[in-house]
């Protein structure tokens, strides 16, 4: 067994994992209609290939990838496309975005699909295009197109694939459940991904608070044989952060601004591994996922297999939601998830958890008090930042100092806010400051370009004026030369005569009219 | 010589001062030749801070001319697209007190982008001539269009259009432009001391 | 239905500022108890009187600054300041001395800078230094410890507090004073010839220090603050004392043990320099901060003019804290190829 390394900081919040009974998958049923946002991933939104009124079968392509960093979208069941318009989507802004509404016909008829007979003989490019065609995007939360991540093989030498089954956030048990019910699928998916990446080493990382999942994974790894190495390490939040996990498993740090691939490592979520397996072996597109529905405001919390686009309202009804005790609906976990304003929004490819806590369970935070510089945040920070300094600079909007204190390396895990005795919403400060810096950088690029264009135009106008003037001068010189050559003709007299003639003809004209 | 200086300390002091003066003068003179900067660095620095919309709302035909005017002592609060942020940055650069935006030149508003309703365009090229950054594409009698990425939202094309087919739409409406706001500083909702609030 | 939109994280650790402050108050109890045992109820009365006054002043200051006293008084921070100041003041001090100290600490030390979290100096030490410079006589008259002088009762203490100059207790030079004034006696002779010296340091003082040490260790165990600053301070103080010990000659600066258990050493190490607001913020910074306090403490004790040196050492280092912070930024993840965890 490999060595386990320590990471800086981290916290130990109450895990609350048993609440959602990991290891059992329940069926979320088929809602009357599905809402499918065209942007469920990082990158460009998918571009539509159906129109309102079209009847589609399950698995049929609804929207195709638009460019390299994009993924296609498939119908999760059969039915009619009834609307394509902006609708509320799961996003912290609570804004609307373009969605496709699919009215389910309840028959759940599917297209035929087929996968590769034996992936071991296929080329990586074929397999990548299978995964791409199936619309697979990272299912751990970020939603980065998996095919694009796999293309790192073309640029960098890779050695290791990490399957990140850490799931360090409290409450969430979707990966835990998947590891228990489909360990074989995860291992096979991992082997497919490793085959694509051309790596020898596969590390399956599981935190030690999931003994059942760990056991299942070890058995599956042994049963399938090969190069899978199941690793376990002490529970701590946020060990599951990609960068943190890499340090725990390898002792190496991903360089700032870089990618794990720079260290020869690629990380994937277990859900993504299974989706990749389904795409390669069966040709099945990604149209459903396991979602943890949890929180004490639910009568039947658990892990539900739900179709993408299922409105959260529907899921809450299935899980027995009691609205009297709750005022918060969280997409994701309690540490990094964002609060939704409306339960009309659907689940998407990245939805691993819907948390509906009671007020008693996760109380509304009290007003922030003054920072007493206690330094608990700096001890908790897994990126070894100085959160309180960043807080002061974010308040002062001091971009220079924010960058000097490496704001960009903040992973927004929320450990600092969690420990802050003054209840300061630190992470929101960092998010706002990051947005501010990003915006002013793009503005700077814009304004530089505008300046260049403006100056180029000024130059052009000047050049044109000069050219015109030169032309006029040349004409005059030619005229003068001609006049001089023509003899004693006085150009002034000639001009007067011309003007006179013109006037005469004008007066003639006016007389005529 | 030494004894002479010792007996007349005044001379010694004079010679020393003269020597120092000559020495430093030579160093400064050399430095001014050796490290001479081309152009007017202050105007360029100011121009860096201006938003480059080239809208002329300040009364100058573009950002560079306004930067030159500021460098010559002009008011720093005439730029509505830059808003308070630009004024503060200019005040910081020039070490003067930041002022409020001069309302005479317009109000600070969200950046826009021009949009030509293309079926109404008659192809008169007037907007093309007005555009300070060459962001409108088209030819006489042919429909025009705006290169949205290059448009600075300066409004200069709106006025010349004879058929009024240009709309100014907000540039940052969509979900992809959304960003988190700083939290309300509720630990001190008012200003530092009670009287500040009365003044504000 | 519409739900609340609150930023993540949605959970929170059970510890909040008020609890931190309460824990600090609780941890002073053993020290206060021992002080009361050796020097009578004077300190206790100081703390009660000072606490009431400080709460009132804080409320007024908050009101003047247009803050909500109801909410901000609940953070207990002013009680910590006043309690720490009153522990440092001599027992049986007149009321005006305490009032001046509290006023300086709360108003001058804290609110003029913008209140809790914004004060560059430790407020309790600001109050203490104002008094030390303005009223050196009153500040240096320490009651003789139990066994060497009569311990006044509660009524006597109350009169001492409220009717100035009425109380004529037995005061004695403290062991630190005696050591500084020592000319000619070997250290062992000084210890045996003077009743104020106990087993390791001063009578009473050694136990006071041990009690504060116990309180401090409990705070570290609770995770209220880290061990870095106190340990660094005690180590450098011990080192300096060892260097200046001069094998107990008449020129000796005193043994490490003597310094550890004298005056405000433990109180300072665990309750004053651990003040997060005015101290260094990273653990490496705290090590440096504590170490420098230790050095200064020894130097001012041995070569300075005042009975105890802690307040000056702390205030001087408060100046330096932002500077220390600047140069002890931890290495951020991903900024060096390989890196040990920072402390």
- Parallel/antiparallel/unpaired status of strands A47-48 and A338-340: unpaired
Across chain B, mean pLDDT equals 83
C-beta of residue A292 within 8 angstroms of C-beta of residue A353: yes
> What are the beta bridge partners of residue A426?
none
**Co-location of A277 and A205 in the same domain:** yes
For residue C331, being part of any structural domain is answered with: no
* Distance, CA of A466 to CA of A51 (rounded, Å): 56
For residue C107, being part of any structural domain is answered with: yes
**Co-location of A304 and A418 in the same domain:** no
For residue C67, being part of any structural domain is answered with: yes
For residue B6, being part of any structural domain is answered with: no
For residue A360, being part of any structural domain is answered with: no
Q: Please answer yes or no on whether A450 and B150 come within 8 Å at the CB atom.
A: yes
Phi and psi angles of residue C142, each rounded to the nearest 5 degrees, phi first: -95, 135
CATH number where B158 lies: 3.30.70.20
For residue C10, being part of any structural domain is answered with: no
Q: Give C-chain residues touching A379 at CB under 8 angstroms.
A: 226, 283
In this prediction, residue A508 carries a pLDDT of 56
Max distance between CA atoms of chain A, in angstroms, equals 114
**Co-location of C137 and C233 in the same domain:** no
* Distance, CA of C194 to CA of C84 (rounded, Å): 30
Question: B129 lies in which domain range?
Answer: 110-172
**Co-location of A99 and A247 in the same domain:** yes
Residue C113 tokens, joined:
């800078």
C-beta of residue C175 within 8 angstroms of C-beta of residue C182: no
For residue A114, being part of any structural domain is answered with: yes
- For residue B113, which of B177, B200, B38, B47 has the smallest C-alpha distance? B177
Name the residue facing B197 among C64, C66, C114 (closest C-beta). Answer: C66
C-beta of residue A34 within 8 angstroms of C-beta of residue A310: yes
Q: How would you classify residue A76: left for phi > 0, otherwise alpha for psi between -120 and 50, otherwise beta?
A: alpha
Residue C41 tokens, joined:
């109820």
Q: Does residue B200 register a pLDDT over 70?
A: no
For residue C333, being part of any structural domain is answered with: no
Contact with chain C for residue A409, Cβ under 8 A = yes
**Co-location of C139 and C268 in the same domain:** no
Chain C closest CA to B87's CA: distance in Å? 27
Q: Give C-chain residues touching A251 at CB under 8 angstroms.
A: 338
Q: Which residue of B has its CA nearest to A87?
A: B175
| SS3 category, C121 | coil
**Co-location of C160 and C209 in the same domain:** no
**Co-location of C165 and C314 in the same domain:** no
For residue B77, being part of any structural domain is answered with: yes
For residue C342, being part of any structural domain is answered with: no
Q: How many CB atoms lie within 10 A of CB C167?
A: 18
Asked casually if ipTM beats, i.e. exceeds, 0.90, the reply is: no
**Co-location of A384 and A302 in the same domain:** no
**Co-location of C67 and C166 in the same domain:** yes
Q: Does residue B82 register a pLDDT over 70?
A: yes
* Distance, CA of A64 to CA of A506 (rounded, Å): 69
| SS3 category, C267 | helix
For residue B27, being part of any structural domain is answered with: no
Between residues 426 and 455 of chain A, which touch chain B (CB distance below 8 Å)? 428-429, 431-433, 435-436, 438-439, 443, 446-451, 453-455
CATH number where A74 lies: 3.40.50.11540
Place B150 in a pLDDT band, splitting at 50, 70 and 90: confident
| SS3 category, A72 | coil
For residue A410, being part of any structural domain is answered with: yes
Helices marked H in A135-277: 146-150, 174-181, 183-197, 211-224, 242-250, 270-277
For residue C152, being part of any structural domain is answered with: yes
What secondary structure, in 3-state letters, does A394-434 show?
HHHCCHHHHHHCCHHHCCCCCHHHHHCCCCCCHHHHHHHHH
* Distance, CA of C62 to CA of B44 (rounded, Å): 48
- For residue A174, which of A16, A302, A328, A276 has the smallest C-alpha distance? A302
Q: How many CB atoms lie within 10 A of CB B12?
A: 14
**Co-location of B86 and B131 in the same domain:** no
Residues 6+ apart with CB under 8 A from A512: none
Number of domains in chain C: 2
**Co-location of C162 and C210 in the same domain:** no
CATH number where B75 lies: 1.10.15.40
- Considering just the CA atoms, what is the radius of gyration of chain A in Å? 32
- Parallel/antiparallel/unpaired status of strands A96-104 and A79-88: antiparallel
Contact with chain C for residue A388, Cβ under 8 A = yes
Q: Which residue of B has its CA nearest to A436?
A: B179
CATH number where A422 lies: 1.10.1060
Q: Give B-chain residues touching A453 at CB under 8 angstroms.
A: 133-135, 150
C-beta of residue C279 within 8 angstroms of C-beta of residue C263: no
* Distance, CA of B116 to CA of C100 (rounded, Å): 73
Residues 6+ apart with CB under 8 A from A239: A7, A10, A166, A168, A207, A233, A245, A248
**Co-location of B90 and B125 in the same domain:** no
* Distance, CA of A162 to CA of A169 (rounded, Å): 18
In this prediction, residue C166 carries a pLDDT of 61
| SS3 category, A228 | strand
For residue B33, being part of any structural domain is answered with: no
Number of domains in chain B: 2
**Co-location of A277 and A411 in the same domain:** no
From first CA to last CA, the distance across chain A in angstroms is 108
Interface probe with A: pick from C1, C2, C4, C11, most Cβ of A within 10 Å: C11
**Co-location of B100 and B115 in the same domain:** no
Q: How many CB atoms lie within 10 A of CB C68?
A: 12
- Is the link from the previous residue into C9 a cis peptide, with omega within 30 of 0? yes
**Co-location of A309 and A401 in the same domain:** no
In this prediction, residue A393 carries a pLDDT of 92
For residue A201, being part of any structural domain is answered with: yes
Q: Does residue B38 register a pLDDT over 80?
A: no
For residue B8, being part of any structural domain is answered with: no
In this prediction, residue A81 carries a pLDDT of 94
How many interface pairs between B and C have CB atoms less than 8 angstroms apart? Answer: 14
Question: A88 lies in which domain range?
Answer: 18-318
**Co-location of A306 and A374 in the same domain:** no
**Co-location of B129 and B97 in the same domain:** no
**Co-location of B117 and B85 in the same domain:** no
Residue C146 tokens, joined:
């139990």
Q: Which residue of C has its CA nearest to A263?
A: C337
**Co-location of B100 and B116 in the same domain:** no
Residues 6+ apart with CB under 8 A from C206: C198, C199, C200, C261, C262
Name the residue facing B53 among A435, A439, A450 (closest C-beta). Answer: A450
* Distance, CA of C220 to CA of C270 (rounded, Å): 9
**Co-location of A166 and A56 in the same domain:** yes
For residue C332, being part of any structural domain is answered with: no
Residue C229 tokens, joined:
């600053």
Q: Which positions of chain A have pLDDT values less than 70?
A: 1-2, 486-494, 504-513
* Distance, CA of C139 to CA of A195 (rounded, Å): 79
Question: C255 lies in which domain range?
Answer: 173-324
Interface probe with C: pick from B187, B191, B198, most Cβ of C within 10 Å: B187
**Co-location of A400 and A471 in the same domain:** yes
Number of domains in chain A: 2
pTM higher than 0.90, yes or no? Answer: no
Per-residue pLDDT of chain C (343 residues; tens, 9 = 90+): 567 777 888 888 888 888 889 999 999 999 999 999 888 888 899 999 999 999 999 999 988 888 877 777 888 889 999 999 999 988 888 889 999 999 999 999 999 988 888 888 999 999 999 998 898 888 877 777 777 777 777 777 787 777 766 666 667 777 777 777 777 777 777 777 777 777 777 778 888 999 999 999 999 998 888 899 999 999 999 999 888 887 777 777 788 888 898 888 899 999 999 988 888 888 889 999 999 999 999 988 888 777 678 889 999 999 998 889 888 888 888 886 444 433 3
From the centroid of its chain, how far is CA B165?
30
Contact with chain C for residue A252, Cβ under 8 A = yes
Place B193 in a pLDDT band, splitting at 50, 70 and 90: very low
């Amino acid at each position: 067994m490999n060595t386990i390394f320590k990471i800086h900081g981290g916290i130990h919040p109450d895990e609350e994992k048993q609440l959602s009974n990991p290891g059992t998958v329940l069926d979320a049923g088929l809602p009357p209609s599905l809402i499918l946002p065209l942007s469920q991933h990082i990158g460009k939104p998918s571009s539509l290939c159906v129109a309102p009124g079209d009847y589609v079968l399950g698995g049929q392509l609804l929207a195709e990838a638009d460019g390299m960093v994009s993924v296609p979208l498939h119908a999760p069941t059969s039915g009619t496309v009834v609307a394509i318009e902006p609708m509320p989507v799961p996003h912290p802004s609570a804004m609307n975005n373009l969605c496709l509404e699919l009215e389910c016909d309840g028959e759940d008829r599917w297209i035929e699909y087929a996968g590769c007979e034996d992936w071991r003989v296929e080329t990586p490019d074929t397999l990548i295009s299978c995964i791409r065609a199936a619309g697979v995007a990272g299912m751990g939360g970020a939603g980065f197109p998996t095919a694009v991540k796999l293309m790192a093989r073309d640029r960098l030498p890779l050695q290791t694939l990490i399957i990140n089954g850490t799931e360090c956030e409290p409450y969430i048990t979707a990966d835990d459940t998947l590891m228990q019910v489909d360990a074989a699928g995860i291992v096979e998916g991992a082997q497919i991904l490793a085959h694509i990446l051309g790596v020898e080493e596969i590390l399956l990382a599981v935190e030690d608070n999931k003994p059942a999942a760990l056991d299942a994974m070890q058995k599956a790894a042994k049963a399938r044989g090969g190069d899978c190495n199941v690793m376990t390490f002490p529970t701590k939040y946020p060990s599951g952060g990609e960068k943190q996990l890499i340090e725990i498993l390898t002792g190496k740090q991903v360089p700032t601004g870089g990618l794990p691939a720079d260290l020869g490592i690629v990380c994937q979520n277990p859900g993504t591994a299974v989706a990749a397996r389904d795409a390669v072996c069966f040709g099945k597109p990604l149209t459903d996922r396991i979602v943890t529905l949890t929180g004490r405001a639910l009568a039947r919390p658990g892990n539900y297999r739900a179709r993408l686009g299922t409105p959260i309202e529907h899921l809450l009804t299935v899980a027995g939601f009691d609205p009297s005790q709750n005022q918060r609906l969280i997409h994701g976990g309690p540490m990094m998830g964002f609060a939704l304003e409306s339960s009309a929004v659907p689940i998407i490819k990245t939805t691993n958890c819907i948390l509906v806590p009671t007020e008693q369970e996760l109380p509304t935070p009290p007003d922030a008090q003054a920072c007493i510089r206690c330094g608990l945040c700096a001890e908790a920070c897994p990126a070894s930042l100085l959160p309180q300094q960043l807080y002061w600079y974010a308040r002062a909007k001091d971009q220079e100092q924010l960058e000097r204190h490496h704001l960009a390396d903040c992973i927004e895990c929320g450990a600092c806010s969690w420990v802050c005795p003054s209840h300061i919403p630190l992470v929101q400060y960092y998010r706002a400051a990051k947005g501010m810096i990003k915006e002013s950088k793009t503005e700077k690029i814009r304004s530089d370009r505008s300046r260049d264009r403006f100056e180029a135009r000024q130059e052009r106008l000047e050049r044109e004026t000069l050219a015109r003037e030169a032309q006029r001068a040349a004409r005059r010189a030619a005229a003068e030369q001609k006049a001089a050559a023509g003899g004693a003709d006085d150009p002034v007299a000639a001009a007067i005569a011309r003007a006179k003639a013109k006037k005469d003809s004008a007066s003639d004209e006016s007389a005529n009219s | 010589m030494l004894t002479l200086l010792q007996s007349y300390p005044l001379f010694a002091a004079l010679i020393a001062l003269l020597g120092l003066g000559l020495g430093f003068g030579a160093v400064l003179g050399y430095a001014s030749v050796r490290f001479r900067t081309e152009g007017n660095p202050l105007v360029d620095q100011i121009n860096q801070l201006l938003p480059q919309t080239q809208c002329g709302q300040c009364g100058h035909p573009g950002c560079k001319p306004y930067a030159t005017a500021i460098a010559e002592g002009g008011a720093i609060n005439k730029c509505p697209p830059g808003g308070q942020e630009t004024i503060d940055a200019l005040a910081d650069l020039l070490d003067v007190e930041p002022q409020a935006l001069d309302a005479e030149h317009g109000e600070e508003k969200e950046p826009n982008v021009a949009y030509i309703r293309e079926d109404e365009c008659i192809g008169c090229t007037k907007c093309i001539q007005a555009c300070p950054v060459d962001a409108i594409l088209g030819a006489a009698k042919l429909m025009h269009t705006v290169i949205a990425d290059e448009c600075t939202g300066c409004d200069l094309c709106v006025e010349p259009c004879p058929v009024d087919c240009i709309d100014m739409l907000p540039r940052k409406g969509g979900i992809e432009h959304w960003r988190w706001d700083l939290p309300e500083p509720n630990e001190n909702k008012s200003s530092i001391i009670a009287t500040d609030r009365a003044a504000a | 239905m519409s739900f609340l939109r609150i930023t993540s994280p949605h959970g929170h650790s059970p510890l909040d500022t008020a609890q931190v402050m309460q824990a600090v108050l609780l941890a002073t109890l053993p020290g206060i108890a021992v002080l009361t045992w050796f020097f009578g109820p004077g300190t206790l009365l100081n703390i009660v009187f000072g606490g009431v006054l400080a709460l009132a002043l804080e409320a007024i200051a908050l009101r003047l600054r247009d803050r909500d006293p109801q909410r901000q008084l609940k953070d207990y921070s002013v009680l910590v300041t006043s309690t720490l100041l009153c522990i440092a003041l001599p027992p049986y001090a007149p009321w005006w001395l305490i009032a001046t100290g509290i006023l300086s600490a709360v108003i001058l030390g804290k609110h003029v800078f913008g209140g809790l979290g914004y004060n560059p100096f430790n407020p309790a030490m600001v109050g203490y230094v104002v008094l030390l410079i303005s009223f050196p006589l009153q500040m240096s008259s320490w009651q003789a410890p139990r066994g060497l002088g009569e311990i006044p009762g509660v009524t006597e203490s109350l009169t001492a507090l409220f009717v100035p100059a009425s109380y004529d207790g037995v005061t004695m030079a403290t062991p630190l004073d005696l050591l500084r004034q020592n000319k000619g006696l070997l250290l062992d002779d000084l210890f045996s010839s003077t009743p104020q010296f106990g087993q390791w340091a001063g009578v009473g003082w050694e136990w006071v220090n041990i009690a504060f040490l116990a309180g401090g260790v409990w705070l570290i165990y609770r995770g209220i603050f880290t061990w870095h600053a106190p340990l660094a301070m005690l180590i450098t103080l011990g080192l300096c004392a060892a260097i200046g010990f001069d094998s107990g000659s008449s020129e000796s600066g005193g043994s490490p043990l003597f310094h550890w258990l004298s005056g405000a050493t433990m109180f300072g190490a665990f309750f004053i320099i651990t003040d997060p607001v005015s101290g260094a913020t990273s653990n490496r910074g705290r090590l440096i901060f504590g170490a420098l306090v230790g050095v200064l403490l020894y130097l001012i004790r041995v070569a300075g003019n005042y009975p105890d040196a802690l307040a000056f050492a702390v205030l001087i280092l408060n100046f330096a804290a932002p500077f220390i912070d600047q140069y002890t930024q931890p290495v951020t993840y991903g900024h060096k190829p390989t890196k040990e965890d920072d402390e």
